[in-house]
Chains A and B, each alone.
Chain A
Amino acid sequence: MSFVDLTAQVMIAVPLAPLLAFVVVALAELGLPTPASERVVARSVRLGAAVALVGSVWLAIALARSPATELVLDRSPWFEVGHYKFAARLTVDSLSAIMLVLASTLTLIGVRFSVSYMHRDPGFRRFFALIALFEAGLMLLLEAGTIDLLFIGWEIVGLTSTFLIAFFHGRDAPLAAGLRAFVTYRSCDVGLLAGAVLLHHYAHTSAFDGAFGAGHWPVGTAHLEPHAATLIALLFMLAAMGKAGAFPVGGWLPRAMEGPTPSSALFYGGLSVSAGAYLLLRVAPLFAESMVARVALGLVGVATAVHATIVGRVQTDAKTQLTYASATQIGLVFVWIALDLRWLAIFHLFGHISLRTFQLLRAPAILADRHHRLGALGGAHVETGRHLERMFPARLRLRLYALARAGFDIDSLLDLLLVAPLLSVAHRAARFERAVTAMLVRPRTGRGSISSSQLDDEDLA
């Protein structure tokens, strides 16, 4: 097998290995009479993550050695009808190579960390299955050579994220947090799918190197009509805002801390929220073509950074504080992309993801760390920070504190403006429909809507 063929196989193996780990764990959980042991589950997922890491490093080296600017594996079409083809095209360029190595490294670390952290948790197998599926989705997202394939990875990441936020499902709060995240994802993903179809329509291809063909990342340019570039860029921005927890739709992000710490670290400390920034970097040539989109993205980035840094400063628990710190940095990355500083954005993203994941993984031991630090300093605590607060007069500082505690009521405002009217319409419609049903279906006295014969299930007797 030649080096090129081997590299092609590695490109397939990177998302496939964690996917297989997911399938193995899921089938073992559902199909075996006795559940698989923690050791077997952890080893399966670790093996999948390790293969993904080795493969990612291989691809990075192969790209560095290759005279080409990208590695491409095209098994098109996945399916086709008439003139429409769904391209199955994987691409590794400098952007995806960096992100692949980083993401697979951090996932493997997160998986190893979770083996001890989740030990004897009743949801141990479910957790590892979801982490494996998440990694498969993320690897596909990063390797995707077309916007359609990226969408598939994007959706998998979103769904696993939802289930991991709602992981401790015995309580209501994680469920509400998970549902909020899903609603945000699903609403904003309309932008990604609409943008994908419009990109296909205007550029006559969904492949990134076809759509931004005049040079490869980071120097690609999109040859689209200005209005088309603006529209598509704004749609992608909407999708990125949802996934990254950007202002004003980031209310799900602090709530997402209801999930287990390792998944919080992987998802909201770094990798999942960075998928939004990755999408924007991937389609950065579109923003370069449209001043309107750049200004909009810059404003969103600044608003996210300012809002998150203020709100984050008044949080009382470490994980939430770190989440807001994460949102602050993502906001800044948005600004770099708006300014078309693509390499700065990716360096910033790399550093931010690494640091934040580490901080979140250490969050459960924050008190022990603090004692160690104080001990090392001889017991003296050096008070630092509060520079931003000092810029405001005392009275305003108090008011700002109250506002920040409430997150500036952005969620309430969104609920009031978007959710409440929608639900009001739904309730009115439901009342009308109940009245129509009452005309068609008449209740019998003392009988419910359920046929009692259906309750005499012989299997259950």
Chain B
Amino acid sequence: MNYPFSLIFIIVALPLLGAALVKRSSGPDHARQIGGVIAGAVLLALAYVLLDVVAQDGGGRVEDPALALGWFGVRPLFGFDALSAVLALTNAITAFAVIVGAPRSRDERPRITTLLATEGLILTMLASLDLVILALAFACLVSPAGAHGPSRREGPDTTRLYRAVFIAGALPLAAAVGLISFANLGSLGPDVFDLRVISMLPHRGASVVLGLLMLTVLVRMALLPLHSWLPAMTQHGPLGPTVLLVASQSGAYLFVRVAFVFFPGDAGGLTTWLTLGGVASALYGGVISLIQDDLRRLIGWLSVSQAGLMIIGLCSLESDGVAGAVVYWTSYGTAVTGLALTVWAVQARTGTTTIAQLGGLVESCPRLTVAFAAFAVASVGFPGSLGFVGEDLLIHGVLDSHPLLGVLMLVATALNGIALIRALFRVFLGPVKIAAPADLRARELWVVAGLAAVVFGLGLWPRLAVDVVGLARLCIHV
């Protein structure tokens, strides 16, 4: 279905426009108002788009009107299918929660600008029907955070970190896209960049392209051995954009949108290597998170582990495994946002996220404690949360076909659960080491409660989410 006007382009451009407006805003209050309104409007618009997608028979695609692109024909540049619409909505929820629910600072214009720009790039990546636009948005995802924060005056210098992540993600992808174009330009003609039809046309892939894509996916999903940037970024980088990056799982999206398209079936053997990387990441992240002494770094390691679990599901090529991975994708994104918001609140109140310096926060922050506990159990798939549904599907899909992998996944989830409960006990319970001046404020509480309602509401009544994800699963060419 085509919209009569460029609705999707407007939705995608709104956060980018908002970022520009926030930069020129008159003060922090004005910036917050712009950020909140833009993020809320995008969220509502994406909910409408998802309803539109689901309403179509079998979950079709909604597209912007076609544009005349010269030699590249007449085709739309933006559109959503069930998969990208679900992921876009999840991302909009995450962005809205972080913009509205994060602790406030005296001048947060740079923070809101970064968040809106990152959201805009993620949505551009998800909505793009063109390989080049997708690749450009994908490559630039870390740029706003690298350019703006953390504040250049304070905190450690993360320039090298962002530069490394940008180069490691962008270069191999640029090379892969270049090779794909070069190899297929003659046979595919103007359709070479059109993601809608490219999967249906005979095209040529090469093992070099496969290797480059695998490198990009490993880097952006923070899978072993190219994982170390993520814990460093969650600890030292700006938390908001990092959470958006974690929730978007851009590497996984690239994998299902490009690798599966050019190398159908088992993606030219890529699935085997990524499965190995996933198992190693899930276990390594789980083991190392057991001894983490920093809450922000702990979130980074958990994300490494969870990304490993997710890629195993995607690579299982089983219907329930792939569906489980997509449910996990969305549920972990939402749960980790809640977790990050609570950690951020702890940092704003105590000035530290070092676990050894914290303790007994429940005395001064009972609501914050409950919120952390709820998102901790949700992020490791405790029954009642959407994560449980994802984990159940994921493990059924994998254990059926690869029993050993399934058991290792269970071990990884057990380790993640232990790490989070340990953190909960040491930070929030125990003798009081540090007192917080206030519990969660009403604004923060509403946002956290909203996220919890999504995670646990869909966990208790999962049929709606699973039905939509069932449509999204069909968009993955496995």
Contact = CB atoms under 8 A, between A and B. Distances in A.
B418 A183 contact: yes
Contacts of A189: 414
Interface stretch (A107-115, A197-205, A407-415): A197-205
Nearest to A459: B441
Select the residue from A152, A169, A198, A441 with max chain B CB neighbours within 10 A: A441
A458 B103 CA distance: 8
Interface stretch (A155-163, A252-260, A300-308, A322-330): A155-163
A115 to B, nearest CB: 22
A81 B437 contact: no
Given A84-B393, A422-B290, A456 B106 contact: yes
A448 B155 contact: yes
Contact of B348 (A152, A198, A454): A454
B105 interface: yes
Contacts, number: 205
A461 to B, nearest CB: 9
B34 interface: no
A81 B466 contact: yes
A381 interface: no
**Secondary structure of the A side of the interface?**
helix
Contacts of A450: 155, 347, 351-353
Interface residues of A, number: 68
Interface residues of B, number: 86
B477 interface: no
B360 A170 contact: yes
A72 B291 CA distance: 46
A451 B154 contact: yes
Given A81-B470, A200-B396, A440-B161, A457 B348 contact: yes
B160 A197 contact: no
B95 to A, nearest CB: 18
A195 to B, nearest CB: 10
A455 B436 CA distance: 12
A211 B181 CA distance: 54
B407 A194 contact: yes
Contacts of B279: none
A81 B430 contact: no
A178 B425 contact: yes
A197 B430 contact: no
B30 to A, nearest CB: 14
Nearest to B437: A460
Ranked nearest first, the 10 interchain pairs of A and B with the lowest CB-CB distance are A82-B319, A169-B429, A152-B383, A440-B161, A79-B466, A84-B320, A457-B348, A81-B323, A451-B150, A436-B228
Interface of B: 103-108, 149-151, 154-158, 160-161, 164, 228-229, 231-232, 235-236, 238, 284, 287-288, 290-292, 319-320, 323-324, 344, 347-349, 351-353, 360, 362, 366-367, 370, 377, 382-384, 388-389, 392-393, 395-397, 399-400, 403, 406-407, 410-411, 414, 417-418, 421-422, 425-426, 429-432, 437-438, 441, 443-444, 462-463, 466, 469-470, 473
Interface of A: 26, 29-30, 78-84, 86, 148, 151-152, 155-156, 159, 162, 166, 169-172, 175, 178-179, 182-183, 186-187, 189-190, 193-194, 197-198, 200-201, 422-423, 425-427, 429-430, 433, 436-437, 439-444, 447-460
